[in-house]
Chain A
Amino acid sequence: MSSDLTADEARAALAGASSSAARLRQRARWASTQMMVLGLGMGAVTVGVGLIESKLLGAAVFAAWGVLALIMRRWTSRRTAHLTGTRGRTAPYRSLSLALYGVAIAAGGDAYGDPTYWVSAAVLVTVPMFVGAFRERRA
């Protein structure tokens, strides 16, 4: 059978396989969405920590973050295809966002209640996650 394969048949086989691969790859690009959602969550927590005076509301922000993390974990476990190397590609962006969150909290002691500082800090914390999400969408 293979000895009869013409150039047109070879091109058709390549095109068919290429579209199957593209469809599965598209399904496996979920890490981008995960990083966008977690990035927004981290930004919201950063703003909440610096601007919310009520201890009850502050606790509610952390509880909401915990719920979001659990929902995303469950959502991730239900993904039906995985790209090669997703963890390795996204880990630096996650680590950088966490590190920036730590720096923002440590340096923001005197800026408590200052929206300029905390909104800027939230944006800074979110940016690495968004960059990672953007790059993962093109992986």
Chain B
Amino acid sequence: MDSGVDTRVDVGPSPVQAMEEKLRDLEHRVGALEGRAAEDRVAIIIFSGDLDRVLAAFVIATGAAAMGQQVSMFFTFWGLSVIKKRTELSGKTLFQKMMAVMAPGSSQSLPVSKMNYFGAGARMLRAMMKQKNVNSLEDMISLAREMGVRMIACEMSRGVMGITESELVGGLEYGGVATFLADSLRARTSLFI
């Protein structure tokens, strides 16, 4: 039988080998895609300190939480007024004091984005919401907490405006742009309000 002649025919890699290679390649690509796939997550920046806008943000945040999404709300600049509980002037620079006096002292005194008329518009909106049995902003904030919504205060704008931690409500996290992006880049929905 051993004639010394090589009778094998060169057909290249066997079909099985080729399949295995293809499978490995696909597994690799699926793995890479999985790492980049959006999670059940919603990230919201609250830049505005306007009652109407902020209300919309909280309705979306609590709704998303009810739909099983991980929700994070990132409060920055005027949005910090939403999570303020009081105003303290000691320890602030002149400009910071001026801003503290002019900015809303808490969520209770947020203006509306249109037709505010020195707060009359905001009071009117709150009264109208009450008439229609719509939750107040404060109810929505506590509802959001209850639903496990993460609330993060922007450390940079807090520092610029001289707002101290004792002026803000409890249960907040503090972070910066990467804190927000770490959530928003994995989120299905990202909003700037």
Question: A and B: real partners?
Answer: no
- A interface with B by C-beta (< 8 Å): none
